[in-house]
Amino acid sequence: MDFGGYANNIAHVDLTSGTVEYKEIPEDWARKYIGARGLGVRYVFENGPQVDPLAPDNILCFMNGPMTGTAANMSGRIAVVTKSPLTGTVTDAHMGGWSAARMRWAGFDGLIFKGVSDKPVYAYLEDGKLELRDASEVWGLGVHDTIKHFQEKYGEKDLSVMSIGQAGENKVRFASWINEDDRAAGRGGTGCVGGSKNLKAIVIKAKKSFPKPADKDAWKKA
């Protein structure tokens, strides 16, 4: 269903089985929670309060809003939402840079990771598809070297990388996800959750492609 502003595509990734399902956003959720933090918190709520933050059943969400990827000021933010290993309750951490916009241009409103991979992996996003690929060669590297590795592998043009470092790999409870060397989702230990799932990085390859607003005239006036 097309309700404007959204790609209406969430990748649900089971790291245990290595499978990916692409699902639409429930329309009432899209209208009520307006993407990003609100939508991510709803998915965490539905997953249940009993889940241990470092258990396979905990989910790790990377969420955009309906204006992400447009020219709107301050819209280029991505919300990382999960159950925090630091506080034991829901956390949302936000970071800027190009990853949010590129995730939208690649055809996604969000990514939801569940389970634990039996080996280090990274998610590669391009043209509305997500692939899990072997991250063994970057496991143990810091974020700067990890990002440099993927830039050399895929080329810097139209590329964004979000990564954890050694702190996340070793499940330090305040570890962060880092985007483009110097942007951090620094609250709640989201990087620790990534490490507990053996998820090293998210690599996004996407050219600029502005989303279609729900109301073009209202968008121009705003």
Predicted TM-score (pTM) of this structure: 0.94
The residue type found at 55 is A
Instruction: Report angle CA 92, 95, 100 to the nearest 5 degrees.
Output: 105
The residue type found at 101 is A
Rounded Cα gap, residues 184 and 78, in angstroms: 10
What was the pLDDT predicted at 14?
Answer: 99
Cβ atoms of residues 161 and 151 within 8 Å: yes
What was the pLDDT predicted at 35?
Answer: 81
The number of C-alpha atoms within 13 Å of 209 and in the hemisphere containing its C-beta is: 16
Contacts with 30 (C-beta within 8 Å, 6 or more apart), sequence order? 3, 6, 8, 39, 66
How many other C-beta atoms can be found within 10 angstroms of the C-beta atom of residue 147? 24
User: Nearest CA to 149 among 166, 165, 161?
Assistant: 161
Cβ atoms of residues 9 and 128 within 8 Å: yes
Over residues 155-212, the pLDDT tens digits come to 989 999 999 999 999 999 999 999 988 899 989 999 999 999 999 999 999 988 877 7
What was the pLDDT predicted at 43?
Answer: 97
| Domains and their CATH numbers in the chain | 10-221 (3.60.9.10)
Rounded Cα gap, residues 68 and 75, in angstroms: 5
What was the pLDDT predicted at 64?
Answer: 93
- 41 conformational bin, left if phi > 0, alpha if psi -120 to 50, beta if neither: alpha
Rounded Cα gap, residues 124 and 190, in angstroms: 19
What was the pLDDT predicted at 139?
Answer: 99
What was the pLDDT predicted at 222?
Answer: 66
> The tokens 């989910």 sit on which residue?
59
- Please list the ranges in the chain whose pLDDT falls under 70: 1-3, 222
Rounded Cα gap, residues 40 and 36, in angstroms: 6
Which stretches does DSSP call E strand in the chain? 10-14, 19-23, 60-63, 78-83, 90-95, 110-114, 121-126, 129-134, 159-163, 177-179, 183-185, 199-205
